[in-house]
Amino acid sequence: MNDGLILEMSGISKNYRLGNNTIEVIKEINWQVHRGEWAVIVGASGSGKTTLLNMAGLLERPDRGTIRAVGYDYARFSAREAARFRNRKIGFVFQSYCLLPELNVLENTVLPALMAGTSRREAEKKARQWLDRLGLSGRLKHRAPELSGGEQQRAAIARALINDPDLLLTDEPTGNLDLHTGEEILALFRDLRDNDPDRAIIMITHNPEIARSADSAYELFDGRLRPLGA
């Protein structure tokens, strides 16, 4: 594992209003993730895992505390700067894949690169390289509804990686897959960890068994993050 710091949370708290009540979802979390690290967060449904991941990815902001990623202080970003930073530095993989059904695999994959200003020729070259690496070179012209769940998730991973992000955030990436296909997707993450040591991966899941594949594992309980099993 590379020692370079990718993500640092300091005193992070997040509240939500529910009627007249205030619910403290995240409570004073201090956490660091380093380059080359695959970190897994487990916890019950509603424990705040997705909220924590969204804050790591600049989709939500904390009510208190600071977050730095790749040397940048999130609090300094305007909305436009945050969107640009997310596109260039952070990749997202969701349980529901989030592929556009009217586009084929290649067209879905190139979108973040085109948004970053990459030429179409270069974007398609990079997309083909990732899709080949992820075993989808024969499915480039297929649209999302024509793919299996595992193929859709591999396409989503290729799309998340096309801009070579420093931080890959994954929300229940095997949640919609059968056991065998889920194992194949986890093998892809192991390969990414082993062969792309400058990147960090944060994965949230409700399945503690997945934590065995990771470099570090945490449980989010009662708004606080603690090492799994502590």
Question: Could you report the per-residue pLDDT of 74-87, keeping only the tens digit for each?
Answer: 999 999 999 999 99
Beta bridge partners of 22: 17
Number of folded domains that form the chain = 1
Question: Could you report the per-residue pLDDT of 143-167, keeping only the tens digit for each?
Answer: 989 999 889 989 999 999 999 999 9
3-state secondary structure of 148: coil
> Cβ contacts of residue 166 below 8 Å, gap of 6+?
6, 35, 69, 70, 89, 90, 198, 199, 200
Q: Which amino acid is at 78?
A: S
Give the whole-number percent of the chain exceeding pLDDT 70: 98
Q: Could you tell me whether strands 167-171 and 90-94 are parallel, antiparallel, or unpaired per DSSP bridges?
A: parallel
Cα 138 from chain centroid (whole Å): 25
**Boundaries of domain holding 35:** 5-227
**Which residues of the chain form beta strands (DSSP E)?**
5-18, 21-34, 38-42, 64-69, 72-73, 90-94, 167-171, 200-205, 216-221, 224-227
Distances (CA, A) of 27 to 10, 44, 52, 64, 188: 11, 16, 11, 9, 33
Residue 208's domain is classified under what CATH number? 3.40.50.300
Question: Is the CB of residue 64 less than 8 Å from the CB of residue 11?
Answer: yes
Question: Could you report the per-residue pLDDT of 164-204, keeping only the tens digit for each?
Answer: 999 999 998 888 888 888 888 888 888 988 988 899 999 99
> Cβ contacts of residue 79 below 8 Å, gap of 6+?
none
> Cβ contacts of residue 88 below 8 Å, gap of 6+?
116, 163, 165
Position of tokens 């202080």?
A: 73
Mean confidence (pLDDT) of the chain: 91
pLDDT of 67: 97
Q: Which residues of 137-157 are buried (b: 16+ CB within 10 A; e: fewer)?
A: eebbebbbeebeebbbbbbbb
pLDDT of 3: 61
pTM for this prediction: 0.92
Residue 2, pLDDT above cutoff 60:
no
Q: How far apart are CA 157 and CA 160, in angstroms?
A: 5
Backbone angles phi, psi at 30, to 5 degrees: -120, 125
Q: How far apart are CA 220 and CA 193, in angstroms?
A: 23
Question: Could you report the per-residue pLDDT of 44-72, keeping only the tens digit for each?
Answer: 888 899 999 999 999 999 999 999 999 89
Q: How far apart are CA 170 and CA 203, in angstroms?
A: 5
Q: Mean per-residue pLDDT for 198-222?
A: 89
